[in-house]
Amino acid sequence: MTDQKTPSLGRRLLNGWTTIAGRFALVQTLMILVMTYGLLIGPVGLALAIGRSDLLAKRGLKAVESAWLDADTAKPDLERAKLLS
């Protein structure tokens, strides 16, 4: 019968590989996030800031009484109700 306290060579190699792979995965995840931000999100945000784009239409909210926008001006009818269901 084998001793249960000392793991086999295969188990020790697997544990070592799992530790090394976990550290590589952490570094790889951080690099992917940094590159995504640096190449996509950062330049798009910078371009929108330079172009003074207001995608959420927040600049005009101080001048109006309410932020409510009517979404639909069509009159309700049976055909329209059938399309919605």
* pLDDT tens per residue across span 25-55: 999 999 999 999 999 999 999 999 899 888 8
In single-letter form, the type of residue at position 22 comes to G
Supply the mean pLDDT for the chain.
86
CB 34 within 8 A of CB 42: no
Q: Write out the two tokens for 55.
A: 């995608």
Which two tokens mark 65?
A: 């009484």
pLDDT on residue 47: 92
Q: Round to whole Å and give the CA distance between 36 and 54.
A: 23
- In angstroms, the CA 18 to CA 28 distance is 15
What integer pLDDT is reported at residue 83 of this predicted model? 84
pLDDT for residue 3: 57
Any idea which of 8-22, 41-55, 71-85 has the lowest mean pLDDT?
Answer: 71-85
CB-CB contact of 84 with 78 (8 Å) = no
The pLDDT of residue 29? 94
User: What percentage of the chain has pLDDT greater than the value 70?
Assistant: 95
